[in-house]
Structure 1
Amino acid sequence: MPLPPAAARHGTDVRTALSEAWAAHPPTDARAATRELRTRLLARPPYEEAAFLLDLADTHGLQPLRAGEVARWTAGDRRVRHAALRYLSGVPHGGALLDAVPPRGGDVYENLLWAAAWHRQDPSAPQAAAFRDAVRRLPATPPGGPVVAQSMLLGSLGEPGVGMSGGMSVLLSALGDALTATGRISRVLTLVTAGRTALRDRASGLVSPLGPEHWQVGIPVDGDGSPDPAAMAEHRPAVSWWAACLLALPGARPRIVHVRFADDGSLAVADAARRCGARPAFTVTPDPHRTMAERHAGLPLHAETETARALRADLHRVFVADRLVARAGLLVTIPSRPGTGDLDTHFPQLSPATESRRVEVPEGIPPFVPRPGDAGLADAMTTRLFSGGGRPDGLDPEDRGLRLMLCVGRLHPVKQQDRLVEAWLDTGLYRSTTLLLVGGSPGRATAVEAGVRDAIAKLLAGQPLGRRRIALWPALPNRQVRILERALAEGRAGSAVYVCPSAKEEFGLAVLEAMDAGLAAAGPERGGVPHYIRDGVNGFLLDTGSGTALGAGLLSVCATPQTELDALAARAMRTVRRSYSVEAMAESLARAYTAVP
């Protein structure tokens, strides 16, 4: 696959496309490819292109430059310096130059990168000690079935509802434990990102236990925290290299590496899987495909407009999804509304020939296990809730008899909490109901979270009664959310319903948790929620495509008599407990994983 002249300097999307072209059509003549890379690198390309070319060579096991010829790239731009260290880790005699360019003092990321590069050169070298210490807790693989890795590179595994952390963090935490409990999987590795702050603070290093043979493995990133989704492409080469180093450890070496998002982080992990001889699995969903037309139709698309950038971002995600489908040895699909066939519509490459590597697996939630003290915590939360409408996180005690609408989730435009508030106000429901929103960082908000909060504040401006009847809470630990939902279902705060106003939910784990708690739940008709909610039977389906449509749905939900809501909630609870447990999900996935050749 020839390299277009200077194409690699035209942006991250172009570099991703070029990398994928090489992955799809690896050079049949390694000598010719090596010569071309050598010619380009010796021509002193710009720093950005040099980093790309060095990473491209290392990813495909090519060595266009000898160790000494890389010296020019080790003292300049940080990105190319790090690319040079990654490249030197795989070149004969690279250790000599690594020793000549020691890491910069106090730079926690670069120190660990240098040690990991030495570990790849010689795992027993004294220079590799820092990397050995960071991964020392991972023991030898136990006997039994294969090792499985699963990734969640955006957000934090332990903070659902904060930043980019949502239901996936809850799901993967429980799923890893459930997979090993099946007896078919010997170990699960959950891959997360570890920014510079985490690298400084984590005394346990990059590896820590989450459950019996379930391990969290941190992939270092050169940033203060988890990368922003828009910036993940910049981190792709480094994430791929780090993941390959970590997955090659004696206690790792997975057979299956499962990614679930159509983004550059998933491509990086899929690249690492290929380098380690593992088979990628991909959860394929029509996101953002199903909303492309309505989001972009008729909008101005001049090159530098925000709408044009948004379209390019969505088209890039479509490209990434197509590449992951092509790479995957196992395609996992999530059930959606019966009869829609939207997956095959948006992925025409899913022909009958792919049936042998496709499996449909409904997602599930772990059972709630009561503990001593739950009742006290429930009372404390309901007391906090009705602490006074003059507080942004409180409601007036005299409003306890009004119907309460609860919404839990990360603060993000796709979750549409601002549209929910708008519909609640426009329909006048604020006069007869209260609203509790739970989600977002408890400390410093991300830019996205701040944008949602600002939108809600503008809607409430000039609405004194509305402001007194809405409570805004930051994200809570998942167990506390489930205790709160049970307290609401028991009527400790009056009658309550759960509302998910998202533009779409691929499956809607938070909706399942509310149903399991005994709350009547309403969720979007677009996505996976219709697979388990039958409108008016065990829940409500909402048109969330506009504030007007959402408002009409909310009016209908709130007009439902309490006796009907109670019966509907009881049917919802039975639905979840019968068919949507994480244990059932783990059994299905374990069978699928072990069947992959």
Structure 2
Amino acid sequence: MNEFIELRNHVYANESNYMYPHRFLDDYITKSKKIDFEERLVVNQIQKIKQLGRKNKLDEKELGELFSFLGVHSYTDRFIVDTVLKLSNDELKPIIEKITTDFLSQRQYSSQQLYHVLDVCMECDVDLLSDEDILFMLQKYKRDVELISNLLGYMDSFKRQGFKDTIYELVTVDYPDNLKIQMINLLGNLDSMETVDQSFVRENVINEKNKVFYDSYIRALASDSEFEKQGISIMQSMFYGDFEDSGKGNNGGLAVLLKSLGEEISKDSSVSHVFTITITQELTKPFISSYGDDHVFIRLPIYLDPSVSDPFIKRELFIKRFIGNFLKQAKIKPDVFHIRFLDNASRAVAHLAKELTKKLVFTLTPDPHRNMFDGSGQLKELGFNELIEKLNKIKIGDELIDTSDGIVGIGNAAVKKELEMYFPQLTDGKINRRMKMIGEGIQLDQSSDIEGVESYSARFAEFNKAHKEFFERPVILNVGRLSVLKGQIELLKAWSKSKLSETHNLLLIGGDLERPNKEEKRVIDFFEDYVKKHPQFKDRFIHKGAMSNLDIRLLEENIMKRDFDYPHIYLCSSVKEEFGIAILEAMSMEFLTLGPIKGGVKSYMSNGENGFLIDTSNWETIAKETENHLYDSKMNKEEFKRIQAAGQKTVSENFSINKISTEFVSFYLAVKGEENNEV
């Protein structure tokens, strides 16, 4: 019995998918430990918000009650604003104006409350702030970066003139670079970029770090070029990381996939452009980069608070408006928007697509669904805030299933059956007809880059010389961003505490060694401390920081040139993988590949045929099951080579980026309604 799946089926048999599953929340809390008074207050507010949300319209008292809840919790704030906007119409608009005017006139609000009231004003197109109000807010909340950003957005939305000197003064404050760029952009929008004092900008905004970004940003805004030619255009979002920083921070295999997928899709004669957007905090790279024929990568300078676990929840509507304004300024008109995460940034893009009456494609994965229960199927005991965060993502997934014009599942029919367990609404015929299962893919000929090969050969020679003895034994390789969920800590323990360390050396690649985030630093510190405590592994365990995808492929190629009695192994230690780009790349290089049994790897990997599926829950299971396959199975060298060759064949026949891109183009055309294409 799986309690989570039973609750999902129970809730969605009785409630609209648009409604927050408060019945699930109640059932969960009933089975969990006691919650405190403030947490119970949040639950009660959620229930009241959703009760009001079921109505067709609100009266003044009910709307006032919703506004009174603002500022208690970041997630209830999101649900309150969503409910107001969902029910907003011409009849409600005067009431919204009255409640908002009364609220603002008291000046007793917190910055959190004010932030969301500004959101309501902008979304409902009601300009209620006087000049005095704006000046008061800019001064009182000068140190609240998110509120200042939203207030600047308000001034931009309603083209509020008369604040030029005030904005220039704000630019001199020690704000993040992307907020300063928003200020300069506002000055340009209120008048023209030609009137902005460039000497002032050079002195107060541009620095050695952001100069490349700023210059390219201003050029892009001033350009009259239009991204138009025959064919459909695709906008795909990737709000985690950068194409050039794969393996650093929270930037994983998705960047590798979307970069190569965008390049291939843009080559198709049916496609005009592929635009990939991300949000950048480190303004060190150009605003716009081009890859391939017509693949355009756009780094949006949107400020996000790095101190909160879910920075998108508060900034959802700002993200939607920012992207919409940029598309208008740049004269980019996507036909299809493609989103890939259950988060509020993806939800922002989904709402923008619907506002622009464009088609929406959504890649569906059961995350966090798979992490809501333990190995026995019992609901996990989660902290209250973690629980609310996960349920918000579950709610977003259900909304996006309803609103999407096309749904993509990663993998094959077996994975689709698993998705149906977590998303009972997929069994509905109308929804099912909008869904297609498509795998992920890789570039199979990437190592053919002659200049890259020559450059890397020199670097590898140095690396090999410094670690000459390391490569005189078979290697266990693991590539990816550093994270507890990626299991590198467990892999190091599994290798060092088992027979694996007697036959193989361990090479881990990933992470930002120069500026690690908190989670990366935690993993790096563990590595360093572990080697200090176990000095016998000092020369047999290597951790290298993130490398470019080409460098990784060339490194794998060099490793595989060395033949031993035992095979070189690629071991993905993630607790689960939705698919696994790094796994496919290792299989294509003929590593003996081991992947997690949880997730989508089982859609293309079969035990003993083209690789091995193992339980990656902890170091003990990793060590035990890897030992079983490598030693206890009594397989000889030739049998391992047969499995390795089969793995390579699996990738070459099924997961080349060329094949995958053709499937995506066909799906996009079908979603758009082109003839001779069906979903």
| Shorter-normalised TM range | 0.7 to 0.9
Distance (whole Å) between structure 1 residues aligned to residue 637 and residue 472 of structure 2: 13
Q: Residue 321 and residue 459 in structure 1: after superposition, are their counterparts in 2 closer, same or farther (change >3 A)? A: farther
Give 1:56 shift: 2.6
Q: Which runs of 5 or more residues in structure 2 are unaligned?
A: 1-52, 54-62, 199-213, 673-679
Identity within the alignment, %: 22
Q: Residue 46 and residue 192 in structure 1: after superposition, are their counterparts in 2 closer, same or farther (change >3 A)? A: same
Distance (whole Å) between structure 2 residues aligned to residue 258 and residue 444 of structure 1: 31
Give 1:409 shift: 0.5
1:407/1:499 contact within 8 Å kept:
yes
1:240/1:269 contact within 8 Å kept:
yes
In structure 2, what is the equivalent of residue 214 of structure 1? 295
| Corresponding residue to 1:367 among 444, 459, 472 | 444
Which string of whole-angstrom CA distances, capped at 9 and with x for unpartnered residues, describes residues 107-161 of structure 1? 5434432344456667788459997534345831232122211111222221110
Distance (whole Å) between structure 2 residues aligned to residue 221 and residue 55 of structure 1: 16
Distance (whole Å) between structure 2 residues aligned to residue 318 and residue 300 of structure 1: 17
Distance (whole Å) between structure 1 residues aligned to residue 548 and residue 184 of structure 2: 35
Distance (whole Å) between structure 1 residues aligned to residue 271 and residue 537 of structure 2: 51
Q: Comparing 452-461 with 513-522, which one deviates more in the overlay?
A: 452-461
In structure 2, what is the equivalent of residue 472 of structure 1? 543
SS in 1 for 2:445: coil
1:382/1:492 contact within 8 Å kept:
no
1:272-311 to 2 correspondences below 5 Å: 272-294=352-374, 307-311=383-387
Give 1:518 shift: 2.0
Q: Residue 468 and residue 33 in structure 1: after superposition, are their counterparts in 2 closer, same or farther (change >3 A)? A: same
| 2:263 is equivalent to residue 170 of structure 1 | no
1:427/1:551 contact within 8 Å kept:
yes
In structure 2, what is the equivalent of residue 391 of structure 1? none
**Partner amino acid, structure 2, of 1:325:** I
In structure 1, what is the equivalent of residue 641 of structure 2? 566
Q: Residue 340 and residue 110 in structure 1: after superposition, are their counterparts in 2 closer, same or farther (change >3 A)? A: closer
Distance (whole Å) between structure 2 residues aligned to residue 16 and residue 128 of structure 1: 38
Distance (whole Å) between structure 2 residues aligned to residue 479 and residue 71 of structure 1: 52
**Partner amino acid, structure 2, of 1:549:** T
| Corresponding residue to 2:73 among 3, 6, 11 | 11
Q: Which runs of 5 or more residues in structure 1 are unaligned?
A: 302-306, 389-393
In structure 2, what is the equivalent of residue 576 of structure 1? 651
Q: Residue 232 and residue 103 in structure 1: after superposition, are their counterparts in 2 closer, same or farther (change >3 A)? A: farther
SS in 2 for 1:415: coil
| 2:559 is equivalent to residue 488 of structure 1 | yes
Q: Residue 143 and residue 438 in structure 1: after superposition, are their counterparts in 2 closer, same or farther (change >3 A)? A: same
In structure 2, what is the equivalent of residue 149 of structure 1? 235
Distance (whole Å) between structure 1 residues aligned to residue 451 and residue 330 of structure 2: 42
In structure 2, what is the equivalent of residue 187 of structure 1? 273
1:114-153 to 2 correspondences below 5 Å: 114-117=183-186, 126=195, 133-136=219-222, 139-153=225-239
1:379-418 to 2 correspondences below 5 Å: 380=458, 383-384=461-462, 386-387=464-465, 394=467, 397=469, 400-418=471-489
1:575-594 to 2 correspondences below 5 Å: 575-594=650-669
**Partner amino acid, structure 2, of 1:185:** V
1:503-518 to 2 correspondences below 5 Å: 503-518=575-590
In structure 2, what is the equivalent of residue 323 of structure 1? 399
| 2:323 is equivalent to residue 247 of structure 1 | no
2:594/2:614 contact within 8 Å kept:
yes
Which string of whole-angstrom CA distances, capped at 9 and with x for unpartnered residues, describes residues 276-334 of structure 1? 44333221100110121129967665xxxxx4443333223222322333332322111
| 2:331 is equivalent to residue 267 of structure 1 | no
Give 1:544 shift: 1.1
Give 1:383 shift: 4.6
1:74/1:82 contact within 8 Å kept:
no
1:337/1:530 contact within 8 Å kept:
no
Q: Residue 247 and residue 67 in structure 1: after superposition, are their counterparts in 2 closer, same or farther (change >3 A)? A: farther
TM-score in terms of structure 2 length: 0.78
SS in 2 for 1:468: coil
Distance (whole Å) between structure 1 residues aligned to residue 156 and residue 279 of structure 2: 21
Q: Residue 472 and residue 493 in structure 1: after superposition, are their counterparts in 2 closer, same or farther (change >3 A)? A: farther
SS in 2 for 1:4: helix
2:235/2:277 contact within 8 Å kept:
yes
SS in 1 for 2:157: coil
1:86-105 to 2 correspondences below 5 Å: 86-91=153-158, 94-97=160-163, 101-102=167-168, 104-105=170-171
**Partner amino acid, structure 1, of 2:170:** R
Distance (whole Å) between structure 1 residues aligned to residue 435 and residue 188 of structure 2: 37
Query: Root-mean-square deviation (CA), in Å?
Result: 3.1
Give 1:266 shift: 1.5
Q: Comparing 159-168 with 274-283, which one deviates more in the overlay?
A: 274-283
Distance (whole Å) between structure 2 residues aligned to residue 60 and residue 596 of structure 1: 30
Give 1:220 shift: 1.1
SS in 1 for 2:450: coil
1:138/1:207 contact within 8 Å kept:
no
SS in 2 for 1:523: strand
Q: Residue 400 and residue 46 in structure 1: after superposition, are their counterparts in 2 closer, same or farther (change >3 A)? A: closer
Q: Residue 493 and residue 276 in structure 1: after superposition, are their counterparts in 2 closer, same or farther (change >3 A)? A: farther
In structure 2, what is the equivalent of residue 82 of structure 1? 149
**Partner amino acid, structure 2, of 1:188:** V
In structure 2, what is the equivalent of residue 358 of structure 1? 435
1:478-557 to 2 correspondences below 5 Å: 478-491=549-562, 495-557=567-629
Give 1:193 shift: 1.6
Which string of whole-angstrom CA distances, capped at 9 and with x for unpartnered residues, describes residues 170-229 of structure 1? 11111111111112221111111232x40xx45x5x3332332211212112269x8975
Distance (whole Å) between structure 2 residues aligned to residue 379 and residue 479 of structure 1: 12
Q: Residue 273 and residue 520 in structure 1: after superposition, are their counterparts in 2 closer, same or farther (change >3 A)? A: same
Distance (whole Å) between structure 1 residues aligned to residue 241 and residue 526 of structure 2: 23
Which string of whole-angstrom CA distances, capped at 9 and with x for unpartnered residues, describes residues 371-420 of structure 1? 336665665565555556xxxxx4x61x5443211110110111101111
SS in 2 for 1:163: coil
Distance (whole Å) between structure 2 residues aligned to residue 291 and residue 544 of structure 1: 14
SS in 2 for 1:230: coil
Aligned residues: 578
1:118/1:128 contact within 8 Å kept:
no
SS in 1 for 2:140: coil
